[in-house]
Amino acid sequence: MNAALDVIVVGGGIAGMAFATRLVDRNDQQPVRVRIFSKAAVEASNSFAAQGGVAAVMRLEDSFEQHIRDTMNVGAGRNDPDVVRLVVGEGPAMIRSMIDLGAHFDSDATGRLQLAREGGHSMARVVHHRDRTGEEIVRVLQARVRSSPHIEVIEPQRALDLLVEGEGTDRQCRGIRAMDLRSGDVMDHFASLVVLATGGAGQVYERTTNPIGATGDGVAMAIRADVDLRDMAFVQFHPTALHTTEPGPAFLISEAVRGAGARLSAPDGRPLMKAIHDMGDLAPRNVIARAIHREMQLTGSSHLWLDASPMGVARFAMEFPAIEKRCREMGIVAGRDRIPVVPAAHYMCGGIRTDDSGRTALKGLFALGECASSGLHGADRLASNSLLEALVIPKRAAGIVFTSAPIEKLRSSRPYRENWLSRRTSAIVTRALGSLRHAMSTHVGIIREEGGMLHTLCIIAMLERQIAPIWNRRRWSPELIDLRDLLVVARSITSAALAEPASMGAHYVEVK
């Protein structure tokens, strides 16, 4: 029997699970053992929360060329055209494969898939499961993960750093250092291959649709290990998060609601988008988010309105049950009353630079999903292309790891430090998180300005100096660990934004 290929996946969302399940499908080629390190249950992930769906060419009146054109238009041409062609081309087969695996997507009485339309798409092409597509895909993948004897999910584990050995071109990722969030013990775990699938970093901003776990862990680990990134300047703000005064992640009002006929309006009732873009309420997200942001600044309003009355109450409840329920909890009758909306940080278009199969510049390290930058999205992401990417690239990665990773005798995990966990968060950490988020939202958000970005870099440096002594005391609260990563990611976003020569896609600089 050959030695097993031993793989660590960091992150238990759709990209990580898609990779793990595709890899163990190839177990006949080579025995394989996959350990998924996850800091929280998958229900707390961005993947699970995804409302929209999977963009794919599923109709004769649509074409790969049009999907490619829409992707490149929204990405402002910054995309890698070969990756766009490849991922878009895999769309229909991926949808069929997910259906074969048991995914239920909305279809009409004849069994034809119902397709939603979202921003930047020239036609309806978003395959979905009501407004809970992420949850449906998670359900299918999780069942496969749970039933595989070759996959082990280890949680709650907070990955802290990559273990890298060697120098120069011999540098190789050998594993991860992670903290067990129950015992506080920090261990070094070794593997033939490490796959980062840690999701986004929306928590770097004050208002985000991302869950509290979206703290850029994988990107920060890659930065500390000196692994190449790409396109970090491009952070997508979703135009329509539900406006509330409650703390915590903002609830998303899916763009598919606008695709079904809802319209944005200014505080005085004026339709917002008609005069601004020829795609109106379905313009690329960066255009709409900026228009809302400007209108809010101009009118001093805390939010704008989404009028879904053309759809009516019954249709709204049928097509968007999760959104309808959330609105109802706030006393809003969706499909009749206007919904208060506001932009919120939603998706990191850049990330750890990979090729079209998830390989990074560091041997032994792959990156998948939102923490990675395959080149698909460019300067802004076409709606629902991310779930497609999170299914397609992991499948390709699983196809090549046997030739990319050395099969070595497994080194057993080794304790690094016992109980480093502190259950108490220092007030300095809480304040520092607030200051970081405020600076990023004010100066490196939807509309940026050079002086503000430079000021933000100074704030980041000051906060790093403030937390250094707390970090060195070696009693780390989960908030402190998150802050350490968020500071690294914030610096990367801000420096990348300052280095961009011109406004493009989601990166927009106002010259004063």
Residues interacting with ligand SIN, by CB under 6 A? 51-52, 118, 252, 254-256, 347, 383-384, 386
Looking only at the bridges linking them, the beta strands covering 351-353 and 372-373 are parallel
* Residues present in the chain in total: 512
> Helix 14-24 vs helix 133-147: angle between axes, to the nearest 10 degrees?
40
Cα gap 64→84, rounded to integer Å: 10
**Shortest distance in whole angstroms from residue 126 CB to ligand SIN:** 8
**Shortest distance in whole angstroms from residue 185 CB to ligand SIN:** 37
Angle at 103 between CA 101 and CA 107, to 5 degrees: 130
Written as six digits, the tokens of 274 are 């008609």
| 285 is known as an active-site residue | yes
> What's the DSSP call for residue 372?
E
Q: Which is nearer to ligand SIN, 80 or 118 (CB)?
A: 118
CB-side neighbour CA atoms (13 Å) of 121: 29
**Shortest distance in whole angstroms from residue 280 CB to ligand SIN:** 16
- Catalytic residue selected from 285, 338, 448, 484: 285
Q: Which is nearer to ligand SIN, 317 or 436 (CB)?
A: 317
Cα gap 379→487, rounded to integer Å: 22
Q: Which is nearer to ligand SIN, 250 or 252 (CB)?
A: 252
Give the phi and the psi of residue 177 in degrees, each rounded to 5. -100, 130
Cα gap 442→394, rounded to integer Å: 35
**Shortest distance in whole angstroms from residue 165 CB to ligand SIN:** 38
Q: Which is nearer to ligand SIN, 192 or 209 (CB)?
A: 209
Give whole-number Cα distances, 372 to 73, 107, 136, in Å: 21, 32, 23
Q: Which is nearer to ligand SIN, 231 or 255 (CB)?
A: 255
Q: Give the type of residue at 302.
A: S
**Shortest distance in whole angstroms from residue 459 CB to ligand SIN:** 29
Say what the alpha-carbon torsion angle 21, 23, 24, 30 is, to the nearest 10 degrees. 180
Give the 3-state DSSP-derived string for 155-209, with helices as H, strands as E and coil as C: CCEEEEEEEEECCHHHCEEEEEEEEECCCCCEEEEECCEEEECCCCCHHHCCCEC
Q: Which is nearer to ligand SIN, 347 or 420 (CB)?
A: 347
**Residue, CB closest to ligand SIN:** 52
Cα gap 137→97, rounded to integer Å: 12
Residues 52, 384 contacting (CB under 8 angstroms) = yes
Residues 387, 134 contacting (CB under 8 angstroms) = yes
Tell me the torsion sign for CA atoms 478, 480, 485, 487.
Answer: positive
**Shortest distance in whole angstroms from residue 385 CB to ligand SIN:** 7
Residues paired with 351 in a beta bridge? 230
Give the phi and the psi of residue 107 in degrees, each rounded to 5. -140, 165
Q: Which is nearer to ligand SIN, 359 or 377 (CB)?
A: 377
Q: Which is nearer to ligand SIN, 62 or 255 (CB)?
A: 255
Nearest to 369 by CA among 397, 334, 341: 397
Residues labelled as active-site residues: 285
